[in-house]
Amino acid sequence: MAMKIRLARGGSKKRPHYSIVATDSRMPRDGRFLEKLGTYNPLLPKDDESRVKMDAERVQYWLSHGAQPTDRVARMLEAAGLREKSTRNNPTKGTPSKATVDRATKKAEKAAAPAEE
């Protein structure tokens, strides 16, 4: 069984509240889970200690049994010191899209054309 540690959304519209859960990866996001490991409230300030609460012992248990955390949960685990920090590399993030490059070239050509005449 492929296990995941992920967020399950709760709360009303525009007032999100998440539970950190251990679940089978085939279950829906807010569906059945095996164990609730903690909570995450994104509405609280980033420096608030009750923004992310989790049971570190149970998280370690699930990680030792092969559960894979999602990207967002992995960052929370790194911040809590339960997991070593992994390097993230997205070399294409800062490069402009093809349409942006085309637009910039057309604008440069248009600006250069009156100067030549």
CATH number for the domain including 27?
Answer: 3.30.1320.10
- Predicted confidence at residue 58, as pLDDT, reads 95
Helix-then-strand count for the chain, H and E: 3, 5
Provide the pairing of β-strand 3-12 with 15-24. antiparallel
Q: Is residue 95 part of a domain?
A: no
Residue 62, φ and ψ in degrees, nearest 5: -70, -35
Chain position carrying tokens 């609460």 = 53
58 residue type, one letter = R
Is pTM beyond 0.85? Reply is no
Q: Is residue 86 part of a domain?
A: no
More confident of the two residues 106 and 114 = 106
pLDDT tens string 48-88: 999 999 999 999 999 999 999 999 999 999 999 888 888 87
For residue 35, the surrounding DSSP H or E stretch is strand 35-40
Over the chain, what is the mean pLDDT? 90
Q: Is residue 11 part of a domain?
A: yes
Q: Is residue 90 part of a domain?
A: no
- Which contacts (CB < 8 Å, 24+ apart) does range 39-47 have? 40/7, 40/76, 41/17, 42/16, 42/18, 43/15, 43/16, 43/17
- Total domains, the chain: 1
Q: What is the distance in angstroms between the CA of the first residue and the CA of the last residue of the chain?
A: 71
Spatial distance between the Cα atoms of 68 and 30, rounded to a whole number of angstroms:
17
Q: Is residue 106 part of a domain?
A: no
Which domain, by its residues, includes 30? 3-80
Here the tokens at position 56 are 């570190």
Q: Is residue 54 part of a domain?
A: yes
Chain position carrying tokens 């440069």 = 108
Q: Is residue 92 part of a domain?
A: no
